[in-house]
Chain A
Amino acid sequence: MSETNKNIMTYYEVDVSQFSETAKLMKKMSASLTAQWAVEGKQFFEVYACYRTEEDFLIVKSLLPKDKPEFPSVSKIFLAASRFERQIYSFMGIKALGNSDLRPWIKFADWPADAWPLRKDFNSAQCLKRVKGEYAWIQAEGEGVNEIPVGPVHAGIIEPGHFRFQAVGETIINLEERLGYTHKGIEKRFESLGWLEGYKLAGRVSGDSTVAHSLTYCRALESMTDFTLPPRAAWLRAIFLERERIANHLGDIGAICSDAAFSIMLYQFMRLKEHFLRTNQTLFAHRFMMDCVVPGGVSVNISAEGAAQMTQELAALETEFERLVKIYDGNPSLEERVRDTGILSTKKALEIGVVGVVARASGLNLDSRSLYPFAPYDKLQVKVPLYTAGDVNSRVWVRIEEVRESMRLLRELLADLPDTTIKVPCPLPERNSTGFAVVEGWRGEVMYWLQATSAGTINRCMVRDPSAVNWLGLESAVIDNIVPDFPLCNKSFNASYAGHDL
């Protein structure tokens, strides 16, 4: 009944009638739901649920007859399923029975209702005709309740999304997100790409996480065959990943302070980030290291001088960084804004299944670098910072400590850089095989699941950005906060729109 993949995941196939029973069992084992997706096979629809247990990931698969595309919902057992199931219905036309909210998600109400883009007979090149359709927003009634719609075009240089607040006075009583504005049909697009070019698209799922996404794609692809990565490539990949983490955390800490009207920190941190990005440009020929991770290894090497330059840069950065941390820590008016703002309790965090920085700020010890380490992380023993308050302040401190830890990791990686080749040919997967990988990006765990067709091409590429679950956390964290604190809460989550919308 089960087959074990050589890496961190196990498959179970259950009858569809057992789909929600399995979920209950998982809940009892304190597992959490990380993703749900569906595939159209030749004879059946396949629906998958991926659970994270303490040891590994369990992927539960059920087959559905084509004439009866439905499965029992698990949204009452795992909150995150509510959105996954809406997404499955929107893109595959497979109904989760028992989920009372199957309003289109990412798909908009003005698409034809029977457009199921991830089905195989869907012509992806077509231009969709807009139809009349209204999205059924959640309504609130009562004396003094007012509604504030925001977006999709926001007041800053940020991505598009729509937020609808219901507030009494200034206090938020409900927030409903509607996302999907940047949906580009990425999962469908993967199906028309070759295995060895997919990494470029993965690197543009969410531009700020280009290393994490292309790395996860490559690892999923490499997991499908007997492939051994040259050690130097593994080391360099980790260097890219940690540099991406530092750059984004620097930007985030500054931006959070700026949203609390303490703008000196924004400019100071942006200055540090800019210098850091310029080093990327010098050493790796790209400020965000796009296309540096490729199937079979990496595309750029580092010279001894380059490594020395990086070590020097770290020393300078550390001094500057610690000085700014002291300012953050010693400012009561800033503390007043960030402390106890946007609380996501441990209980709620667990219920939703948030990941990454957000999870660690709410007391969940989740970091795939330490839970499911691949080389070179298995040697590094990543220290995972843990805060329990779940407020904006905790999310800042997790980032601060992660910058420190990433600096330490970079030093260790540089000190012990293996002297091998950086790229070897990556074999193509066999027919009908599947691959899976999880990488801790700066936001949290990025997850890819790949499946080959019977002809050996890409049949399905499932992408799960950490934002897919963390957006739900934001909806919960802003309740009872005042509307003017929303930008602060939002920035402290800093979920990706593009990574979520795909």
Chain B
Amino acid sequence: MIRTLWQILKTGIVTENVRGKAADDISVLGQKLSNIVKQRFRGSLTIRHVDAGSCNGCELEIHALNNPIYNIEQFGVRFTASPRFADMLLVTGPVTQNMEIALKRTYEATPTPKLVVAVGDCGCGCGIFSENYATIGSIDKVIPVDALIKGCPPTPAALLNGILNAIEG
């Protein structure tokens, strides 16, 4: 226990925005994001992530948003387990034939008004994959999309920026 407490104390706060040094873009982006979340979402933007056929690269970076260095929750952004609580769907792709129905159902289970953000080169277009018997293609072929975040995969900073753009617009 002492070791655990010591480790916590020794690590201190690593979140970059809080320290206010080094991570220029994250702190600036985060501040903007935080302000809009306060104004338009009463301080809490809830996101449900859906993997509609991704290679798992985008998922790693979405995960990273929750690490203590980006700590996206400080800006009032939270990931939820259920689409019923979500304001936004963060969807990675390309959408596969086998995920089409599940994606539509998740979309329908999300209360309106809702935002859909397509993540990654595959979610926005089709990436390296081709539209074929198994791959339907970009997210907007299956559900309406409000904003795009490109990249293979998009970095955590690009994701933050994309989420910000989606709620600003």
Residues of A near any B CB (own CB < 8 A): 108, 111, 115, 117, 122-128, 152-153, 155-160, 180-186, 188-189, 192, 200-201, 204-208, 210, 251, 264, 267-268, 270-271, 273-274, 277, 281, 287-288, 290, 323-324, 326-327, 330-331, 496-498, 501
Question: Quick check: which of B34-42, B98-106, B161-169 contacts chain A, the rest being far away?
Answer: B98-106
| Distance to closest chain A CB from B46 (angstroms) | 14
- Give the docked Cα–Cα distance between A192 and B132 (Å): 12
Are A204 and B127 in contact, CB atoms less than 8 angstroms apart?
A: yes
Residues from chain B with a CB closer than 8 A to the CB of A498 are 54-56
* Chain B 112-154 interface residues, beta-carbon cutoff 8 Å to A: 127-135, 152-153
- Give the docked Cα–Cα distance between A281 and B151 (Å): 14
- Give the docked Cα–Cα distance between A454 and B66 (Å): 51
- Give the docked Cα–Cα distance between A201 and B8 (Å): 41
Question: Among the listed B11, B50, B133, B134, which residue makes an inter-chain contact with A271, where contact means beta carbons less than 8 Å apart?
Answer: B11
Interface residues on B, range: 35 or more
- Give the docked Cα–Cα distance between A134 and B59 (Å): 30
Are B102 and A152 in contact, CB atoms less than 8 angstroms apart?
A: yes
- Give the docked Cα–Cα distance between A117 and B11 (Å): 53
Are B57 and A207 in contact, CB atoms less than 8 angstroms apart?
A: yes
Question: Among the listed B8, B63, B102, B129, which residue makes an inter-chain contact with A157, where contact means beta carbons less than 8 Å apart?
Answer: B63
Are A288 and B57 in contact, CB atoms less than 8 angstroms apart?
A: yes
Are A207 and B51 in contact, CB atoms less than 8 angstroms apart?
A: no
Additional A-B contact list (9), CB under 8 Å, known A160-B52, A186-B129, A268-B7: A124-B132, A128-B97, A153-B50, A181-B98, A185-B132, A189-B129, A207-B54, A271-B67, A271-B68
27 A-B residue contacts at CB 8 Å? A111-B97, A127-B133, A128-B133, A155-B81, A157-B49, A160-B99, A182-B51, A182-B99, A183-B134, A184-B134, A184-B135, A185-B132, A186-B129, A189-B129, A192-B130, A201-B128, A205-B55, A207-B55, A207-B56, A207-B58, A207-B60, A208-B56, A264-B4, A271-B11, A271-B69, A277-B64, A327-B4
Most A CB within 10 A of own CB, among B7, B52, B55, B57: B55
Indicate whether B62 reaches chain A with its CB closer than 8 angstroms.
yes
* In the complex with contacts A157-B62, A157-B79, A200-B128 CB distance below 8 A: yes
Indicate whether B30 reaches chain A with its CB closer than 8 angstroms.
no
Of chain A, the residue at the smallest CB distance from B97 is A128
Indicate whether B74 reaches chain A with its CB closer than 8 angstroms.
no
Where chain A touches its partner, the secondary structure class is loop
- Give the docked Cα–Cα distance between A153 and B59 (Å): 13
Binary CB contact string for chain B from 1 to 27 against chain A (1 if under 8 A, 0 otherwise): 001100110010010000000000000
Are A182 and B133 in contact, CB atoms less than 8 angstroms apart?
A: no
Are A287 and B155 in contact, CB atoms less than 8 angstroms apart?
A: yes
Where chain B touches its partner, the secondary structure class is loop
Are A158 and B55 in contact, CB atoms less than 8 angstroms apart?
A: no
- Give the docked Cα–Cα distance between A186 and B61 (Å): 23
| Distance to closest chain B CB from A279 (angstroms) | 13
- Give the docked Cα–Cα distance between A273 and B66 (Å): 12
Residues from chain B with a CB closer than 8 A to the CB of A326 are 3
Are A496 and B56 in contact, CB atoms less than 8 angstroms apart?
A: yes
| Distance to closest chain A CB from B123 (angstroms) | 13
Of chain A, the residue at the smallest CB distance from B5 is A264
Are A327 and B3 in contact, CB atoms less than 8 angstroms apart?
A: yes
* In the complex with contacts A181-B53, A207-B58, A288-B57, A117-B4 CB distance below 8 A: no
| Distance to closest chain B CB from A259 (angstroms) | 14
Question: Among the listed A123, A152, A192, which residue makes an inter-chain contact with B99, where contact means beta carbons less than 8 Å apart?
Answer: A152
Of chain A, the residue at the smallest CB distance from B4 is A327
Are A189 and B102 in contact, CB atoms less than 8 angstroms apart?
A: no
Are B55 and A204 in contact, CB atoms less than 8 angstroms apart?
A: yes
Residues from chain A with a CB closer than 8 A to the CB of B11 are 268, 271
Question: Among the listed B70, B82, B127, B133, which residue makes an inter-chain contact with A115, where contact means beta carbons less than 8 Å apart?
Answer: B133
- Give the docked Cα–Cα distance between A264 and B1 (Å): 12
Residues from chain A with a CB closer than 8 A to the CB of B63 are 157, 251, 270
| Distance to closest chain B CB from A481 (angstroms) | 22
Of chain A, the residue at the smallest CB distance from B2 is A330
| Distance to closest chain B CB from A190 (angstroms) | 11
